[in-house]
A and B are shown apart, each in its own frame.
Chain A
Amino acid sequence: MNSSPLRSAASNCAQVLPLERLPASAYLQAFRGILYRELLRFVHQRSRFFSSLIRPLVWLAVFAAGFRAALGISIIEPYQTYITYEVYIAPGLVAMVLLFNAMQSSLSMVYDREMGGMRVLLMSPLPRSYLLLCKLLASALVSVPQVYAFLAVAWWFGVEPPPMGYLWLLPAILSSALLLGALGLFISTFIKQLENFAGVMNFVIFPMFFISSALYPLWKMQEASELLYALCRYNPFSHCVELIRFALYERFNVDAALVVGGCLLLFVALAVIAFDPQRGLMRAKRG
């Protein structure tokens, strides 16, 4: 029945008979593919780019302008003189860009899981933990041009860090973006349906942003409430903001870097452990 011409045709698939281990270059190809897809999706979603730019600019132009008169900022590190509120708030808004991008990326993971796109990723012979890390890194890299675009416009609002500060900023925003992306990914593993995502994000994005040093210095928080101050200090987002603030002025904040590094490792590990593609399928079948 299975004639010899058939078998000889089968043996023509010499590249896959027998199955061989993937070469190391396959890992690089996969990362390039994932990064390219993230970039394409970002480019195609122009509204995403503009909203990522407009959101912090509105804060800078409207919120900061109003608060400038009400809030005095004393000389605090890393600044060497009095600064305007716009200058103070800029690193927090950079972190805000990263936070929203990370949550958008988590949302796309939930969307892919719901719509089936995730299955394409999971059918890859490469380790799933590696693929997740690629997704995280690709998403972090996509946030880089958004941050620099925001800072370019912020220049007109008086946010004028030293030129080398922009270079110092790069590792700070990458590590912060990875940390926030890993946190978003970890949270997304517990979201059952796409519709629930917005609600969950409201309980993550807003508290993370407001209970941090993004909008007010920590000493101001301490004046207002010891509890708020403690929450701000233990909020990893505060450390992202401070890492960015110091980097922008060519300074390295060791404490912030240690916290961001530690939390990055923790959340990546949690996201990889919690990520279970079977869970969605099981839930769908059980109804």
Chain B
Amino acid sequence: MNAFDPSAMVNDPPLLRVDGLSFRYGPDTPTDALGSVDFSLHAGRFHALLGPNGAGKSTLFGLISRLLRIQQGDIRLNGLSLKQAPARVLQGIGMVFQQSTLDLDLSVEDNLHYHASLHGLGGKHRIARIETELSRVELLNRRGDKVRKLNGGHRRRVEIARALLHQPQLLLLDEASVGLDSHTRTQINRHIRRLCRDQGVGVLWATHLIEEIQSGDPVTLLHRGRVIANADAEQICRETRCGTLLQAFETLTSESPLDQGLVRPQGLQP
């Protein structure tokens, strides 16, 4: 089922458009990791990419961030094709990876300087951007600390600050809250939503934790490499006549979401 596209509610052209994206990890793999994925995302929106482990979320992120080569379909940012203008598209994308990519032996500030220089930022502008983003995540006082000394939540915040240094239009977060306690998860989720609201950044938030999604959020539901729903969370529930997104997922896939590791509600063992 392809439910409603949230872009239908917005008049502006989408910030990110994914068209007919398919990907396979080599000819010896039995199925496509992604098959004809279509969806779009608008500036200033918190867009959830929901799917169980192995649904293809990281593959999709790998393709958008150009770590993987597009085999079929296209990805457009602000109308620019990633295949035709990769450098200009990458300028507009910030990414927080599932696995931490900070250099543990360098200070917070040095990690940010390194990233900023890779995006061509220099001089006073670079310093100002680092201060702005570090103060936004409330880590200005830890700027000189080695990353190794920071806890998991702080490291994530540094990664978010780093991803925003070059003022991207689109922020990709690949399971950014995995491994964090619920309080830190909530804090990071709130921070990202504030970014959408105040800065107009479009956010693609990949998760398998349904509790992180709010009823009005646009959701792309990915299952076995295919989009099975693409609408507001509320609309998906309405369309499937389910009380919760969790039940909606079960209805759409005819499989137990718990079996697939989609959600691990607190206190409930998988």
Verify A7–B91 contact, CB threshold 8 A: no
Q: Which stretch of B42-50, B133-141, B237-245, B252-260 is in the interface?
A: B42-50
- Which residue of B100, B106, B119 is within 8 Å of A37 (Cβ)? B106
Residues of A contacting B269 with CB < 8 Å? none
- Which residue of A2, A22, A34 is within 8 Å of B12 (Cβ)? A2
Measured CB to CB, the nearest residue on chain A to B159 is A120
Residues of B contacting A126 with CB < 8 Å? 87, 118, 120
Verify B122–A25 contact, CB threshold 8 A: yes
- Which residue of B6, B101, B113 is within 8 Å of A36 (Cβ)? B113
Is A158 an interface residue when CB atoms closer than 8 A count as contact? no
Verify B200–A12 contact, CB threshold 8 A: yes
Measured CB to CB, the nearest residue on chain B to A26 is B120
Verify B167–A15 contact, CB threshold 8 A: yes
Per the 8 Å Cβ criterion, residues 11-64 of A in contact with B are 11-13, 15-23, 25-30, 32-34, 36-37, 40-41, 44-45
A144 to chain B, nearest CB (A): 21
Is A281 an interface residue when CB atoms closer than 8 A count as contact? yes
Per the 8 Å Cβ criterion, residues 120-177 of A in contact with B are 120-127, 131
Verify B26–A7 contact, CB threshold 8 A: no
Measured CB to CB, the nearest residue on chain B to A18 is B78
A10 to chain B, nearest CB (A): 3
A-side interface size class:
35 or more
Verify A34–B78 contact, CB threshold 8 A: no
A152 to chain B, nearest CB (A): 27
B83 to chain A, nearest CB (A): 15
Residues of B contacting A30 with CB < 8 Å? 117-118, 120
Verify A124–B113 contact, CB threshold 8 A: no
Verify A6–B101 contact, CB threshold 8 A: no
Verify A119–B101 contact, CB threshold 8 A: yes
Is A282 an interface residue when CB atoms closer than 8 A count as contact? yes
Chain A residues touching B, majority SS: helix
Is A199 an interface residue when CB atoms closer than 8 A count as contact? no
Residues of A contacting B44 with CB < 8 Å? 2, 6-7, 9-10
Q: How many residues of B contact A (CB 8 A)?
A: 63
Verify A125–B91 contact, CB threshold 8 A: yes
Q: Which stretch of B59-67, B149-157, B180-188, B203-211 is in the interface?
A: B59-67
Is B248 an interface residue when CB atoms closer than 8 A count as contact? no
Query: Which of A9, A28, A127, A286 has the largest number of chain B CB atoms within 10 A?
Result: A9
Is A278 an interface residue when CB atoms closer than 8 A count as contact? yes
B116 to chain A, nearest CB (A): 7
Measured CB to CB, the nearest residue on chain A to B146 is A44
Verify B114–A37 contact, CB threshold 8 A: yes
Verify B200–A19 contact, CB threshold 8 A: no
A37 and B116 alpha carbons, distance in the complex (Å): 12
Verify A119–B67 contact, CB threshold 8 A: yes
Is B268 an interface residue when CB atoms closer than 8 A count as contact? no
* CB within 8 Å for A19 and B122 given contacts A7-B12, A12-B199, A278-B67: no
Residues of A contacting B113 with CB < 8 Å? 33, 36
A124 to chain B, nearest CB (A): 4
A7 and B163 alpha carbons, distance in the complex (Å): 21
Verify B103–A37 contact, CB threshold 8 A: yes
A15 and B97 alpha carbons, distance in the complex (Å): 24
Cβ contacts A256-287/B at 8 Å (1 or 0 each):
00000000000000000000011001100110
- Which residue of A1, A17, A32, A123 is within 8 Å of B117 (Cβ)? A32
A126 and B116 alpha carbons, distance in the complex (Å): 12
Query: Which of A22, A25, A285 has the largest number of chain B CB atoms within 10 A?
Result: A285
Residues of A contacting B67 with CB < 8 Å? 119, 122-123, 277-278, 281
Query: Which of A27, A36, A123, A124 has the largest number of chain B CB atoms within 10 A?
Result: A123
Measured CB to CB, the nearest residue on chain B to A21 is B88
Residues of A contacting B116 with CB < 8 Å? 29, 33
Verify B95–A10 contact, CB threshold 8 A: no
Verify A9–B119 contact, CB threshold 8 A: no
8 pairs of A and B residues whose beta carbons are closest in the complex: A33-B117, A26-B120, A10-B200, A9-B200, A124-B118, A6-B44, A10-B43, A125-B90
- Interface of A with B (CB < 8 Å)? 1-2, 6-13, 15-23, 25-30, 32-34, 36-37, 40-41, 44-45, 115-117, 119-127, 131, 277-278, 281-282, 285-286
Can you list 13 pairs linking A and B with CB atoms under 8 Å apart? A1-B216, A2-B11, A10-B199, A19-B92, A22-B91, A32-B117, A34-B118, A36-B117, A119-B95, A123-B65, A125-B86, A125-B119, A126-B87
**8 extra interchain contacts, Cβ-Cβ under 8 A, other than A1-B10, A2-B42, A41-B105?**
A7-B44, A15-B167, A29-B116, A30-B118, A33-B116, A122-B66, A123-B95, A277-B67
- Interface of B with A (CB < 8 Å)? 6, 9-12, 25-26, 28-29, 33, 42-45, 59, 62, 65-69, 77-78, 80, 85-93, 95, 97, 99-101, 103, 105-106, 110, 113-122, 126, 166-169, 197-201, 216
